[in-house]
């Protein structure tokens, strides 16, 4: 109740700050005073910090409640589940939980999300969990692009876990491994190697080879992205073909290499009907998390209603496969799309040169979807059976 009272008080303070900010803005507009403009900016900063504090306290309450409810059970802790509206990341969580339910059906699954507020004291939270863990409890870190310095909140979870669960085995589910410099790579390797009980599942051959060259006391295993585990497990509604191309494209982020405008010009010049989308949805994250599997099924039906998917999103590629739609993959700066193509013998086509896109579209649309054999699907699932031996 104390934390709820604190949050209520802070929200009242936030409302007062907002009112003050409005009055200050009106005064600034009439006075055009540089001094008052600085005052307004400071108040705006204070409001932002207050929002962060509310988010941190709400996060702590939610995690504490979930943890306290399950303290007497054998548990699997999944660290770093997403708080965003990125459906690819959310699909990873769905798949990890499905994997846990299959191989550890008696364990309780506890999600410990990445905090919205990067300054949140994860170390204290993780230490509390560590102190109360039992012998057969498990620690899993959700993958993605976790072993990298590209996104601070991703690496923050890994570093905090390494420092807190020093006597526990930690397994990082399939992830891209990419660093901006050799110095940063060596720092990550040192964290992990000193711990000595870390297993990294690399989701492409390049990441696996790269990791083995820098990590000396860390287990490295090649394993496809965990969302593949959902193949034939998610029911995709039958959909009529509504367009030639579904264009699933990131825009203006750190991994972008190919411009959307260049691709769209090719679609137009070739006369293909298309629709643009992204794996980051324009929905409230809380709503997505409350209806995650339903939304995933809806999105897969959307993919299935196209003749071909063109994407530079890792999970755009995998969603196309789940929806049994052929996909043309565009490269990214981290290599996580182009380096994953080698897993597939059919239905996935790499377009490393945008000038080839027109010809490739014609070829893929003409070929259509080619079913994977039972042998191929079983071989894929066996990759995930191997993880059980590591946990």
Give dist(CA 292, CA 269) in Å, integer: 37
CA 263, 265, 270, 271 torsion: positive or negative? positive
Q: Does domain 72-230+382-390 have CATH number 3.40.50.300?
A: no
The answer, yes or no, to whether residue 82 has pLDDT greater than 60, is yes
| pLDDT confidence of residue 52 | 52
CATH class (in words) of the domain with range 243-372: alpha beta
| pLDDT confidence of residue 2 | 41
Which helix (DSSP H) or strand (DSSP E) does residue 311 occupy? strand 306-311
Give dist(CA 363, CA 56) in Å, integer: 51
Which helix (DSSP H) or strand (DSSP E) does residue 27 occupy? helix 2-31
| pLDDT confidence of residue 367 | 97
DSSP-assigned letters across all residues of 44-72:
HHHHHHHHHHHHHHHHHHHHHHHHHHTTT
| pLDDT confidence of residue 63 | 57
Look up residue 280 and give its DSSP letter. B
| pLDDT confidence of residue 148 | 87
Q: Answer left, alpha or beta for residue 92, where phi above 0 means left and psi between -120 and 50 means alpha.
A: alpha
CB 144 within 8 A of CB 207: no
| pLDDT confidence of residue 114 | 84
- Opening angle at CA 58, ends 86 and 153, nearest 5: 40
| pLDDT confidence of residue 173 | 97
Q: How would you classify the pairing of strands 170-178 and 219-222?
A: unpaired
| pLDDT confidence of residue 83 | 81
In 10 A of CB 298, how many CB atoms?
Answer: 12
- Structure tokens that stand for 65 in this block: 């409640």
The answer, yes or no, to whether residue 25 has pLDDT greater than 80, is no
3-state secondary structure of 141: strand
| pLDDT confidence of residue 72 | 58
| pLDDT confidence of residue 277 | 94
**Lowest mean per-residue pLDDT among 99-103, 133-137, 148-152, 277-281:** 148-152
The answer, yes or no, to whether residue 55 has pLDDT greater than 80, is no
Among 355, 360, 312, residue whose Cα is nearest residue 335: 312
What average pLDDT does the segment 89-117 reach?
Answer: 92
What average pLDDT does the segment 93-98 reach?
Answer: 97
Look up residue 236 and give its DSSP letter. P
CA 294, 175, 171, 141 torsion: positive or negative? negative
Give dist(CA 316, CA 148) in Å, integer: 21
67 burial level (CB within 10 Å; 0-12, 13-18, 19+) = middle
CB 360 within 8 A of CB 349: yes
| pLDDT confidence of residue 50 | 53
Q: What is the mean pLDDT of the chain?
A: 84
**Lowest mean per-residue pLDDT among 7-21, 103-117, 312-326:** 7-21
What average pLDDT does the segment 252-258 reach?
Answer: 77
The answer, yes or no, to whether residue 237 has pLDDT greater than 60, is yes
| pLDDT confidence of residue 130 | 92
């Amino acid at each position: 109740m104390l934390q709820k009272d604190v949050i209520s008080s802070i929200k009242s303070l936030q409302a007062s700050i907002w009112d003050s900010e409005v009055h200050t803005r009106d005064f600034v507009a009439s006075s055009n005073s540089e001094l008052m403009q600085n005052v307004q900016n400071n108040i705006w900063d204070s409001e932002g910090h207050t929002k962060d504090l509310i988010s941190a306290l709400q996060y702590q309450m939610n995690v504490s409640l979930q943890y306290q409810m399950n303290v007497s059970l054998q548990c699997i802790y999944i660290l770093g589940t997403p708080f965003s509206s990125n459906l690819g990341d959310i699909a990873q969580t769905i798949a990890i939980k499905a994997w846990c339910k299959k191989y550890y059906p008696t364990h309780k699954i506890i999600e410990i999300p990445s905090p919205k507020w990067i300054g949140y004291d994860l170390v204290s939270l993780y230490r509390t969990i560590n102190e109360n863990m039992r012998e057969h409890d498990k620690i899993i870190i959700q993958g993605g692009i976790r072993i990298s310095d590209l996104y601070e909140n991703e690496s923050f979870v890994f570093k905090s876990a390494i420092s807190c669960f020093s006597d526990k085995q930690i397994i990082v589910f399939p992830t891209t491994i990419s660093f901006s410099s050799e110095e940063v790579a060596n720092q990550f390797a040192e964290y992990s190697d000193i711990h000595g009980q870390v297993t990294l599942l690399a989701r492409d051959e390049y990441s696996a080879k790269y990791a083995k060259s820098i990590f000396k006391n860390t287990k490295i295993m090649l394993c496809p992205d965990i969302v593949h585990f959902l193949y034939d497990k998610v029911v995709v509604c039958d959909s009529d073909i509504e367009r030639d191309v579904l264009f699933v494209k990131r825009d203006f982020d750190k991994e972008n290499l190919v411009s959307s405008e260049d691709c769209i010009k090719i679609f137009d010049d070739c006369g293909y009907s298309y629709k643009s989308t992204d794996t980051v949805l324009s929905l409230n994250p809380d709503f997505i998390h409350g209806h995650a599997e339903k939304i995933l099924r809806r999105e897969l039906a959307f993919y299935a209603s196209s003749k071909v998917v063109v994407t530079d999103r890792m999970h755009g590629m995998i969603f196309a496969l789940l929806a049994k739609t052929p996909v043309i993959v565009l490269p990214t700066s981290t290599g996580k799309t182009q380096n994953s193509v080698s897993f597939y013998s059919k239905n996935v086509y790499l377009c490393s040169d945008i000038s080839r896109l027109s010809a490739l579209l014609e070829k893929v649309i003409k070929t259509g979807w080619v079913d994977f054999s039972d042998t191929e699907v079983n071989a894929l699932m066996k990759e995930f059976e191997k993880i059980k031996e590591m946990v």
